[in-house]
Amino acid sequence: MTYDTILQRNTAFVNSQVTCALIELESMKAENASRLIREESLAYGEASICGLIDKYGLGHNVVLNTLNNNM
């Protein structure tokens, strides 16, 4: 594999992880909005939302390592 092919593959992986995190984030936001309307406590707080970064491996150093993996 060439350097460009590996970089494209790794970039596609990071992009897919970002997409998954965004989908889950929007779901969390929707649930919190529904609960606010019903005057219930929020289902997801800051820790849960920020936890998506670790869950999907989107921290700065993790992403850099992923992009540079196998190069």
User: In the predicted model, is pLDDT for residue 9 greater than 90?
Assistant: yes
Please list, residue by residue across 41-51, b when 16 or more beta carbons sit within 10 angstroms of its beta carbon and e when fewer do: eeebeeeeeee
Give tens-digit pLDDT for 18-28: 999 999 999 99
Non-local (6+) Cβ contacts of 49 within 8 A are 25, 28
The pLDDT confidence band at residue 71, using thresholds 50, 70 and 90, is low
Domain encompassing residue 50: 3-68
Instruction: Say how many domains are in the chain.
Output: 1
The pLDDT confidence band at residue 69, using thresholds 50, 70 and 90, is confident
User: In the predicted model, is pLDDT for residue 29 greater than 90?
Assistant: yes
Mean pLDDT of the chain: 96
Mean pLDDT confidence for 25-38: 98
Of 16, 40, 61, 22, which is closest to residue 8 (Cα–Cα)?
Answer: 16
For residues 25 and 52, the answer to whether their CB atoms sit within 8 Å is yes
